[in-house]
């Protein structure tokens, strides 16, 4: 007797159509443009060759920028990893007071866009900056003995803004070490310090290495900081050099340098990935809930606390305050008293069509970028992780390629792909949207993968055997369970997109300005307070968004 409602297997499946559609989309928006960059970088009048690269290597200005990128990123990495590991050690593993507060303060720079951070540092330590003025007032010197527009400051500011990631990774690893390993060392006769050096440090070495590599990549791909602090000193790194090349425009030079940058950033990324996979095999860092041993600091407790607190304040709170105060000052350099405070700059922004447009554009772009990438990300994750569809892994791979591509290269790829007919997007807001989709796709796929992995297979299967069809299962079980993750993921794309600078500064056009672009241009043109007022608003939005995500993810995710 045949079943009443039998279904032939391998019938037409709507999911296959969807898969092909996404594949074409990824090919058009990610693979093709990036491919064009590589092709352009090796094309010369006479055909394909590495001539362009030879030219770069022979030009002293380009080579200089390359070396600058390398050393600036290396030193900044060294700085922030040393500080990150040290501070993580103190905050996680000693009896320093106010741990959770310190942790929060140390993580604050995470929420501050690097280019806004650079502006804040310029406000603090620049020629008429608050700290500089304090110094001249106190010492009677004519000017502060430092120059904010210099390579050294670029290094420091880069380190400050890469620091939180390093700190999170290392303190996470420290918190998860199986304490019995350390206790065993104590029982074998090693003191707390010996144990730290012989057992703890080796255990967190993979975390330290991985976060160093990622910090290096973050530094070398950064544009805002070397642009705002380095241009005036004519100190160029790869990203800013590419920016100048595009202004000429010299596409061949720009593409070749972008590929050079991508390779330089790609190698550490690959290494970090391998490290992650390898260290996964030593299961020394167990997920067990452990009560880490704390080292007693004794008489050093308070002095060390003071040092850590000062660092923490200067990394986040002080720049933030400086930004807010600046935005209310009547004129830049005015003495700090209530008579010199005004709302004028905010009123000015409201009446500045460009600023209003920038808000609208950024909100529009960020909303679309977050919605589209999360939607596609969820589909790709579902197809590759759940439906286990053949070929979905390819989608997952394609979608995550841009993770290894620096923003400047994404922007160049968009220019190459979308400034010729049949589809001319360059010069409109849509080219920025396209770039954002490329840029944020990997992040979306990652969050949706992680979210979906938390929903055990059997929860879905239980719905199926309970009598729910595929669509019903999605609606009743899968979606409700992944919703918080999706919302958090959406905000995690929306926030960085809202204040994005590197891509939009290369792709904007009249009428298609983003917040990042307007702030950058205002600051560059010397309208410090207008830039500060805009930044304050952006910071307010970002920090509130961060609070929402923390709440949604129960503190597991921060922007």
Partner 1 sequence: MAKREKRIEVLNLVKQFGDYTAVNNVSFKVYENEFFSLLGPSGCGKTTTLRCISGLEEPTAGEISISGQVMTSAEENLMVPPERREIGMVFQNYAVWPHMTVERNISYPLRLAKKSKREIAAKLDYLLDLLELQGLEKRFPSELSGGQQQRVALGRALSTDPKVMLLDEPLSNLDAKLREQMRFELKDLQQKTGISILYVTHDQVEAMAMSDRVAVMKKGDIVQEGSPHEIYENPKDQFVADFIGTMNFLPCTVTAKTDQGVNVRLGNGAEFGLDSGAERGDYILAVRPEDIVLGSEEGTDCEVDVRIFLGNLIEYRVRLGEDYLRVQTDASLRLEPGDQSRLMIKHGLIFPK
Q: Which residues bind partner 1 (CB under 8 A)?
A: 1-10, 456, 458-459, 461-470, 472, 476-477, 480-481
Q: Which of 400, 393, 430, 436 is nearest to 511 (CA)?
A: 430
CA distance 493 to 378: 14
Of 2 and 145, CB closest to partner 1: 2
Please, what is the minimum distance in Å from the beta carbon of residue 386 to partner 1?
12
CA distance 554 to 90: 24
Structural contact between residues 509 and 424, judged by C-beta atoms closer than 8 angstroms: no
Tell me: cis bond preceding 422? Omega within 30 of 0 counts.
yes
* Encoded tokens for 517: 């672009």
Of 423 and 462, CB closest to partner 1: 462
Burial (CB < 10 A; 0-12, 13-18, 19+), residue 170, is: buried
Please, what is the minimum distance in Å from the beta carbon of residue 5 to partner 1?
6
Please, what is the minimum distance in Å from the beta carbon of residue 480 to partner 1?
5
DSSP H helical segments within 282-384, as ranges? 301-312, 318-328, 344-350, 353-381
Please, what is the minimum distance in Å from the beta carbon of residue 267 to partner 1?
34
Of 139 and 472, CB closest to partner 1: 472
CA distance 337 to 120: 19
Of 385 and 463, CB closest to partner 1: 463
Please, what is the minimum distance in Å from the beta carbon of residue 479 to partner 1?
10
Please, what is the minimum distance in Å from the beta carbon of residue 277 to partner 1?
23
Of 288 and 464, CB closest to partner 1: 464
CA distance 370 to 362: 12
CA distance 398 to 24: 11
Of 45 and 554, CB closest to partner 1: 554
Of 291 and 388, CB closest to partner 1: 388
Of 193 and 471, CB closest to partner 1: 471
Please, what is the minimum distance in Å from the beta carbon of residue 17 to partner 1?
19
N-to-C CA span, the chain: 59
CA distance 230 to 242: 14
Neighbour count for residue 331 (Cβ, 10 Å): 9
Please, what is the minimum distance in Å from the beta carbon of residue 457 to partner 1?
8
208-240 burial, b at 16+ Cβ within 10 Å, e below that, comes to: bbbbbbbbbbbbbbbbbbbbbbbeebebbbbbb
């Amino acid at each position: 007797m045949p079943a009443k409602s039998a279904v032939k297997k391998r019938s037409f499946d709507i999911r296959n159509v969807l898969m092909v559609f996404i594949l074409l989309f990824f090919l058009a928006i990610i693979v093709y443009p990036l491919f064009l960059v590589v092709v352009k970088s090796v094309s010369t009048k006479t055909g394909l060759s590495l001539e362009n690269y030879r030219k770069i290597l022979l030009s002293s200005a380009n080579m200089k920028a390359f070396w600058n990128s390398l050393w600036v990123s290396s030193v900044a990495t060294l700085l922030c990893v040393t500080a990150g590991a040290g501070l993580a050690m103190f905050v996680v593993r000693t009896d320093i007071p106010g741990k959770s507060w310190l942790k929060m303060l140390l993580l604050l720079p995470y929420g501050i866009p690097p280019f806004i951070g650079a502006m804040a540092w310029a406000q603090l330590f620049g020629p008429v900056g608050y700290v500089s003025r304090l110094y001249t007032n106190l010492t009677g010197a004519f000017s502060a003995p430092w120059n904010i527009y210099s390579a050294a400051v670029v290094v420091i500011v880069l380190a400050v803004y890469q620091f939180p990631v390093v700190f999170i990774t290392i303190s996470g690893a420290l918190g998860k070490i199986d304490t019995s390993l350390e206790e065993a060392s104590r029982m074998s006769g090693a003191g707390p310090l010996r144990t730290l050096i012989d057992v703890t440090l080796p255990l967190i070495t993979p975390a330290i290495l991985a976060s160093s590599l990622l910090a290096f990549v973050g530094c070398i791909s950064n544009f805002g900081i070397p642009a705002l602090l380095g241009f005036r000193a004519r100190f160029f790194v790869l990203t800013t050099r590419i920016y100048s090349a595009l202004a000429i425009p010299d596409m061949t030079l720009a593409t070749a340098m972008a590929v050079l940058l991508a390779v330089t950033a790609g190698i550490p990324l690959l290494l970090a990935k391998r490290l992650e996979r390898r260290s996964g095999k030593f299961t020394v860092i167990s997920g067990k809930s452990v009560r880490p041993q704390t080292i007693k600091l004794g008489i050093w407790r308070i002095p060390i606390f003071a040092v850590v607190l000062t660092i923490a304040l200067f990394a986040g709170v002080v720049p933030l305050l400086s930004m807010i105060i600046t935005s209310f000052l009547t004129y830049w350099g005015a003495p700090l008293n209530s008579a010199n405070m005004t709302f004028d700059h905010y009123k000015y922004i409201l009446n500045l069509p460009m600023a209003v447009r920038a808000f609208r554009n950024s909100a529009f772009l960020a909303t679309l970028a977050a919605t589209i990438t999360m939607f596609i990300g969820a589909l790709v994750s579902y197809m590759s992780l759940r439906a286990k569809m053949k070929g979905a892994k390819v989608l997952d791979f394609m979608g995550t390629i841009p993770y290894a591509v620096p923003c400047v290269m994404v922007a160049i790829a968009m220019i190459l792909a979308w400034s010729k007919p049949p589809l001319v997007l360059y010069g409109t807001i849509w080219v920025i949207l396209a770039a954002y989709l490329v840029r944020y796709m990997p992040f979306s796929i990652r969050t949706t993968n992680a979210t979906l992995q938390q929903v055990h297979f059997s929860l879905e299967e239980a719905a199926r055997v309970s009598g729910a069809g595929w669509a019903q299962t999605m609606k009743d079980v899968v979606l409700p369970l992944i919703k918080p993750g999706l919302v958090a993921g959406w905000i995690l794309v929306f926030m960085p997109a809202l204040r994005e600078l590197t891509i939009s500064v290369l792709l904007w056009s009249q009428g298609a300005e983003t917040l990042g672009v307007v702030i950058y241009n205002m600051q560059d043109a010397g309208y410090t307070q207008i830039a500060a007022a805009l930044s304050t608003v952006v910071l307010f939005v970002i920090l509130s968004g961060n609070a929402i995500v923390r709440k949604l993810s129960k503190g597991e995710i921060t922007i």
